[in-house]
Amino acid sequence: MQFIIWFSEHWRLGYRFRIVFMAAFLIVLVALLYPFQSTTVPQWNLRVVDDAGAAVREIIVTEHWQDYLLEADGHEEALRTNQDGWVSFGARNLRANILRRVFARISKFGSSDRGRAVRYGAVVVWGQKEYETSVAVYQGDFPPAEIRVRRLR
């Protein structure tokens, strides 16, 4: 109640107070609505090798990623390794404002993840009959730089 009385007195006092108040209000509004960027999975350079350590050429590597807090659906991209067994996926970024992040966290509060941001990234190596399908998972620090696939024949 004291604040309302103080505010109404200052509002009547003048134009300068109204300008300062409106400027502060706009700054807070912009800060709440600006879509800040976060990285779900950083750039992932991966070398695929067989159990003997030799590069596996032209095998399909599919990257899967999702920020479970902010996205309802996951994403994927499939690439083939080059002649040296390397494949490179760009950084997977997401933009969301503070209000969206807060409401998403509140809406997940009672769920099993307790409102924590859960970012997921993984690659699946597949597509050649000579090799077993393999998976590598990104768990927060740095994505694995190498994945070994077992030769079946």
Q: Residue 1 has which token pair?
A: 């109640």
- The DSSP bridge partners found for residue 37 are 95
Least confidently predicted of 37-41, 67-71, 140-144, 148-152: 140-144
**Residue 1: predicted pLDDT:** 73
For 61-115, write each residue's pLDDT tens digit: 999 999 988 998 999 999 999 999 999 999 999 999 999 999 988 887 766 655 4
Query: Where in the chain does DSSP place strands (E)?
Result: 36-41, 44-50, 60-67, 75-80, 86-89, 92-96, 119-126, 134-138, 146-149
Residue 63 Cα distances to 13, 47, 78, 131, 141, angstroms = 61, 13, 6, 18, 17
Taking the model in full, what pTM does it have? 0.81
Using 50, 70 and 90 to split pLDDT, how confident is the model at 52? very high
